[in-house]
Structure 1
Amino acid sequence: MSHKWIVGVDLGGTTTKIAFIQDNGEIILKWEIDTDNSDFGKNILKNISDSIDQKLETLKQTKEILVGIGLGAPGAIDLEKGLIYEAVNLGWENNYPIAEILGGVTGLPVVVDNDANCAALGEMWKGAGNGAKDLVCVTLGTGVGGGVIANGQIVHGIKGAAGEIGHITVIPENGAPCNCGKTGCLETVTSATGISRIATEAIHTYYNESKLKMIFENNSKISAKDVFDSAREGDQLAIEIVDKVAFYLGLALANIGNVCNPEKIIIGGGVSRAGNVLLNPLNQYFQNFAFSTVAQSTSIDIATLGNDAGVYGAAWLIKANLESK
């Protein structure tokens, strides 16, 4: 099989990342297309199929070289049936049969899983997991996703919703509303959107000099990146905001650590680019809250694959599927 290629697809609400990957994990080619969620998303899978055909033509290859398509999608997935229960950002109706439709238009085997699970598998295979078979991956982006791997296998749960780390309640009373319909979820305070919201609120009640306040006055908005950059430069308000984020994240990760005791908890997504300015206080809170054995044996690391984690993990779905047969 080594000369054959796997297609890894990371389907997002705005863009879709696609790659041809060899079974040793070497990327032959990777590219992006826009996700067209108009007309209830009816063009999404056809566009992926067309794009794969175009790239094969450019590389002067036929479809024979492809063994299958692994796809990560945002939402809870029924792995057996290859359908997505609900995809809020894609326009699809509930219980949309991804594997059946994409398999139909491409003529290839298709395996589907949740995008955060794919990111976790990608990090296990080719990234920060570094051979660890027990790991938890937390993706801090526009939202907060999670994937739990135990003994090399993704934990799916009864309805594919295991690893919804972003919806652990960390503020039980008077928390901010979350897209999921609840309040006080981890996502509301540790996603890029959440950090921006906390910072904007904090500025209005902070009366000392602050670089962050100046950024807000100039742009009338603050990004998570502004917060971390300012904290790195010693801005007191920014440091307090980062401390608050690290507190909530440390609390949630300690509880996850106590349940799973993974070898590693890997932090990915845009927010993870903050690096040590977030990791140092985060480790401190994790140590404070985690059971002592967990605090000593579970380490927190930054993901290494960046935006490629999803396509690697999606390709892994096909690789693992073929090897189990």
Structure 2
Amino acid sequence: MLIGVDLGGTNIKVGIVNQEGHILFQNSRATIPSRPYQSIVQDIIEQIEEGMMQINRSVSEIHSIGIGIPGIAEQQTGKVIYCTNLSWYDVPIGKMLRDHFNKPVFVENDATVAALAESVSGSTKGLANSVFLTLGTGVGGGIIINHKAYSGSHGAGSEIGHTIVGENFYACNCGRNGCLETFASATAMIRYAQKRLREGAQGRELLDMVEGNIENITAKAIFDCAQKGDRLAIEVVDRTIKYLAIGIANIHNMLDPDCITIGGGVSKAGDALLIPLREAVKKLTFCKSVDYGDITLAQLGNEAGIIGAAFLGVHQ
């Protein structure tokens, strides 16, 4: 049995996964990140034990435990170096779970975990090399090389959302200017639309949809209004695709993966995002005679965190 833990700022989701990538059982508890980390780790222990009991299996049958976190972990020890959403710094979660279960424990960034899940049983299944981009509040990245998750020599790699693709009107949360996530995330789309409306841009359809309150603008509203011909919404979508295409062209040039798959809230726009994005990337490719990897949509959604974490101990 494989154990996958999707540890986020809101919920702790624990799943028992078989070798085919199917979730046999899962449960969830509120994270409550204001608690001491020891309490959160205790919850994970109890959830694992509860899950094994529910499927009438012994803890001794656990092959390994994997944990996805919204942060950076030390590969050798499973120590969380930092995790902003939980305010964790140097938390020895790997050691704590190893000491309790006497099983291998692996900790990775949640976007890397999602990339691994897609390669195991999702959109990039069977492909040796792939890249996963999650477009949500920010832009996360996960890299799979030779069927294995890759996050660099220090666990700080695959931060694709913090690659620099241009100069922007606001700084990234990391303190720098020009990060991909300030151009291609849902947050980026919303902030740009709000900026243009404050400058007097015309976006009648968009304003009507949010009842005149620009604080209610969402990425979905922007895509929906662009489909209806709203000039400002089209401008925002075109700008998003322009910079996302730059980021993806850079990925092609650096890694040349078999496929790049896109998940997260922005990906729900489907073909309205995918079709123009493919065209924009094609115009930026370095070698016109190379048939670069396709750009597709992720398939696993909310299950990716558990499945990918579970397989951290398999693809080592």
TM-score by length of 1: 0.90
Matches within 5 A, 1:36-51: 36-51=32-47
Matches within 5 A, 1:23-62: 23-62=19-58
Alpha-carbon spacing, 1:209–1:247, altered in 2? closer, same or farther (3 Å): closer
Taking the aligned partners of 1:59 and 1:308, their CA distance within structure 2 comes to 19
Q: Aligned residue for 1:225?
A: 220
Question: Where in structure 2 are there 5+ consecutive unaligned residues?
Answer: none
Q: Aligned residue for 1:244?
A: 239
Q: 1:30 deviation in Å?
A: 2.4
Q: Aligned residue for 2:254?
A: 259
SS at match of 1:85: strand
Q: Aligned residue for 1:134?
A: 129
More divergent stretch after superposition (182-191 vs 262-271):
182-191
Letter in 1 for 2:282: Q
- Contact 1:41–1:91 (CA under 8 A) maintained in structure 2: no
Alignment partner for residue 197 of structure 1, among 188, 191, 197?
Answer: 191
Superposed CA offset, 1:82-118 (max 9, x none): 112111111222x222210122344432111111111
Superposed CA offset, 1:195-234 (max 9, x none): 2111211222344452112133444420111111222333
Matches within 5 A, 1:1-325: 5-93=1-89, 95-172=90-167, 174-208=168-202, 210-219=204-213, 220-293=215-288, 296-321=291-316
Alpha-carbon spacing, 1:32–1:232, altered in 2? closer, same or farther (3 Å): farther
The percent of aligned pairs where both chains have the same amino acid is 39
Taking the aligned partners of 2:120 and 2:301, their CA distance within structure 1 comes to 14
Letter in 2 for 1:69: I
Letter in 2 for 1:64: S
Q: 1:257 deviation in Å?
A: 0.7
Taking the aligned partners of 1:78 and 1:317, their CA distance within structure 2 comes to 14
SS at match of 2:66: strand
Taking the aligned partners of 1:105 and 1:269, their CA distance within structure 2 comes to 34
Q: 1:125 deviation in Å?
A: 0.8
Q: 1:239 deviation in Å?
A: 1.5
4+ long deviations beyond 4 Å: none
- Contact 1:42–1:92 (CA under 8 A) maintained in structure 2: no
- Contact 1:206–1:237 (CA under 8 A) maintained in structure 2: no
SS at match of 1:149: strand
Q: 1:294 deviation in Å?
A: 7.9
Alpha-carbon spacing, 1:63–1:153, altered in 2? closer, same or farther (3 Å): closer
TM-score by length of 2: 0.93
Letter in 2 for 1:230: C
Taking the aligned partners of 2:29 and 2:293, their CA distance within structure 1 comes to 37
Question: Where in structure 1 are there 5+ consecutive unaligned residues?
Answer: none
More divergent stretch after superposition (245-254 vs 97-106):
97-106
SS at match of 1:7: strand
Taking the aligned partners of 2:125 and 2:103, their CA distance within structure 1 comes to 30
- Contact 2:252–2:292 (CA under 8 A) maintained in structure 1: no
Taking the aligned partners of 2:288 and 2:13, their CA distance within structure 1 comes to 39
SS at match of 2:83: coil
Alpha-carbon spacing, 1:207–1:246, altered in 2? closer, same or farther (3 Å): closer
Alpha-carbon spacing, 1:67–1:254, altered in 2? closer, same or farther (3 Å): same
Q: 1:263 deviation in Å?
A: 0.9
Alpha-carbon spacing, 1:196–1:59, altered in 2? closer, same or farther (3 Å): same
